[in-house]
Amino acid sequence: MDALTRKQHEIIDFLLQNQASFTRPPSLDQLCAALGLKSRGSLHRIIQDLVGAGLIEAMDRKHRGVRLTEQAKKIVQPSNNSSTLRYVGIIAAGKPIEAIENTEFMTIPDEIKTENPCYVLKVKGDSMIEEGIYDGDWVIIEQRCHARNGEIVVALVDKSEATLKFIEQYPHETLLIPANSSMQAMHYQPAQIDIQGVLVGQMRSYRSMV
């Protein structure tokens, strides 16, 4: 599993978390829609690689339906707890930093996640403190490539750095806005920003606090 790309992890996570709700194995078109992907061709290549790795099996040559193999279920699913989510790494609540991807898992309450694919990030920085999001908190992110203005998002800046901020989107610019009155909003061209998900939950540990 360490060799899998982020997108391959997302596909496997989606299939794992939603397998009980499928009436039949999802098609590539359904996966594209669920994961917010625009290119069916790029998804086809990712699926081919997962098929070659023995993690996914296609129901026919045209991939009208795909499902996880038993091998994949044993590798990906650390327990039978449906509230286990993948812990991806660190997200900046301050100056954007690179999101570090991991292959660890965390168990979280059902009440702070959604039925859609989600993942966990650990917050670094203090730019969201006025929203009650502090350095060291864990945030639960619903995997999405779109958001409404005013939502707190994981934004990938220039395809290299990730940050947690409020988002405001306009035709001519996108604003990433901190919840800290001592900091200014960051202004970008819309093409510079890729939304990686939307905040849906939060956790905190007090064990390390004085």
Catalytically annotated residue among 27, 113, 165, 208:
165
Map tokens 């060291």 to a residue: 136
Angstrom distances, CA of residue 79 to CA of 6, 53, 75 = 21, 22, 10
The rounded distance, in Å, linking the Cα atoms of 56 and 53 is 8
Neighbours of 34 (CB within 10 A): 17
Backbone angles phi, psi at 140, to 5 degrees: -100, 125
* Residue with tokens 């998804």, as numbered in its chain: 43
Q: Within its chain, how far is the Cα of 19 from the centroid? A: 18
In this structure, the number of other CB atoms found within 10 A of the CB of residue 13 comes to 18
Q: Is 38 a catalytic residue?
A: no
Please tell me the distance from the alpha carbon of residue 69 to that of residue 46, in angstroms, as a whole number.
Answer: 16
Among candidate residues 127, 159, 205, 208, the one labeled active-site is 127
Known catalytic residue: 39?
Answer: no
- Could you list the active site residues? 127, 165
